[in-house]
Amino acid sequence: MNTFTLKNNVLHAENVALTQITENFGSPCYVYSKAALSQAFERFSAGFKDANHLVCFAVKSNPSLAILNLFAKLGAGFDIVSGGELARVIAAGGDPKKVVFSGVGKTAEEMRAALEAGIFCFNVESASELIRLNDVAAYMGKIAPVSLRVNPNVDAKTHPYISTGLKNNKFGVAYEDALDIYLQAAEMSNIAIHGVDCHIGSQITELSPFLDAFDRVLALVDALAENNIQIQHIDLGGGIGICYSDETPPEFTAYAKAMREKLGNRDVKLVFEPGRALVGNAGVLLTKVEYLKPTESKNFAIVDAAMNDLMRPALYDAYHDIQAVAPRNEAAVNYEIVGPVCESGDFLGHDRNLALQEGDLLAIMSAGAYGMSMSSNYNTRPRAAEVMVDGDQCHLIKKRELIADLFANESTVPNS
């Protein structure tokens, strides 16, 4: 169900006109649909409803407390990659016992915080990390539950920056080394082996890479059993893509059916880490056209959002659909949609045919994932406000930053 629709020639989020949101909260502004978020989580979970499973939302995709709180109420666990994300989950009312801790560079301090909180599992990504975790747990008098993140060397057929399962990626341990590292872990006094973890990338639009990776994981699980190491859960990561333009990612039901068929009668819990799939199409970025600038070679629409607000186009050359919030019945012009940041790479969209006038409002679609979470203060620009729509109500879930906030923690060096 698309919760961003035209009504009376104005784009709405559920039952709230997007023009009303910028009138109340200004622009740029991120807008999320509570219904879209809830429906995505429920649709993903439905395929596993009678199976032993845990859906852990990938916090990195959108760490808004309001979104984390909503998913926590729906029963979600959380996939974190830092101590800061753990603190966010707890502040949002999430259950630490449903948290998996991924990431290649966990510090001893982060390990201590996670052990103290009693998380579900550490997804360990190197032999060195395993040794450190054992030492930290021993010092605290605790047992650390672990999965080893195994790199299956499977091509996810996605952008190289978001591919994580090839042998030249920094993530996980080599598949060929995994059994030996598990055997080492079994000898460690403060490590408890609970699972096997695998994550091959993001924005994956085919089932075959998931199935290929799962085959390799299951072969490892069976090899571990032959060595008297019984696995309690298999973490298959996330990565299901969304439709930004004309992609056709797998339906959640097809994904679930395929995973369960592969699992067979093995008695283990399935853990998943969806991020983009739950939030990507549940959010938009609103931005106002400041200037129209025709030139000899191109027509530029200069808007008040920029690469610091939405990094994906500049970073990945990623495509986001761009729609006029109140479409004009006029001849369209081909525009480059660009921001005010002092970089030639500051663009939000190339070659967009739109009928525009200065002051018009645009919606950058599919901006719910890796939008606000990757934003910055480059050019001393305050981060945007965030709003969640619930039916005919809109709630400010994060205030727009003030310029003074950006240097409140700085100081000059006094004269000597």
Q: pLDDT tens across 9-67, in order?
A: 999 999 999 999 999 999 999 999 999 999 999 999 999 988 999 999 999 999 999 99
Residues of each domain in the chain carrying CATH 2.40.37.10: 4-31+280-406
- 276 marked ligand binding residue: yes
Indicate the CATH number for domain 4-31+280-406.
2.40.37.10
CB 129 within 8 A of CB 123: no
Select 34-279's CATH number: 3.40.605.10, 1.20.1340.10, 3.20.20.10, 2.40.50.200. Answer: 3.20.20.10
Give the pLDDT of residue 159: 43
Provide the angle, in degrees to the nearest 10, between the axes of the packed helices 208-226 and 252-263: 30
pLDDT of residue 264: 87
Q: Which helix (H) or strand (E) holds 7?
A: strand 4-7
pTM of the model: 0.94
The arithmetic mean of pLDDT across residues 391-413, rounded, is 96
Coil/strand/helix, residue 57: strand
> Hey, which residues does 32 pair with through a beta bridge?
283, 388
| Spatial separation of the C-alpha atoms in residues 18 and 6, rounded to whole Å | 10
Percent of the chain whose predicted confidence (pLDDT) is above 90: 85
CB 40 within 8 A of CB 249: no
Residue 165 has pLDDT above 50, yes or no: no
| 239 marked among binding-site residues | yes
Where in the sequence numbering do the catalytic residues fall?
Answer: 342
Identity (one letter) of the amino acid at 292? L
* Residue 251 marked ligand-binding: no
CB atoms within 10 A of CB 14: 18
Helices marked H in 141-206: 175-186
Give residue-wise pLDDT tens across range 183-226. Answer: 999 999 999 999 999 988 878 888 888 898 889 999 999 999 99
Query: Where are the strands (E) in 98-218, listed by range?
Result: 99-101, 121-124, 144-151, 173-174, 191-197
Mean pLDDT, residues 129-139: 98
Is 316 marked as binding a ligand? Answer: yes
C-alpha distances out from residue 90 to 37, 84, 86, 93, Å: 20, 10, 6, 5
Q: Read off the pLDDT band of 415 (50, 70, 90).
A: confident
pLDDT, average across residues 286-309? 97
Distance between CA 5 and CA 13 in Å, rounded?
7
End-to-end Cα, the chain, rounded Å: 64
In the chain, CATH 3.20.20.10 covers: 34-279
**pLDDT digit string, tens, across residues 334-368:** 999 999 999 999 999 999 999 999 999 999 999 99
- How many angstroms separate the CA atoms of 119 and 113, rounded? 9
Tell me whether strands 191-197 and 173-174 are parallel, antiparallel or unpaired.
unpaired
Average per-residue pLDDT for the chain: 94
255 annotated ligand binder: no
Question: Which pLDDT score, from 0 to 100, does residue 162 have?
Answer: 41
Q: How many C-beta atoms lie closer than 10 Å to residue 10's C-beta? A: 16
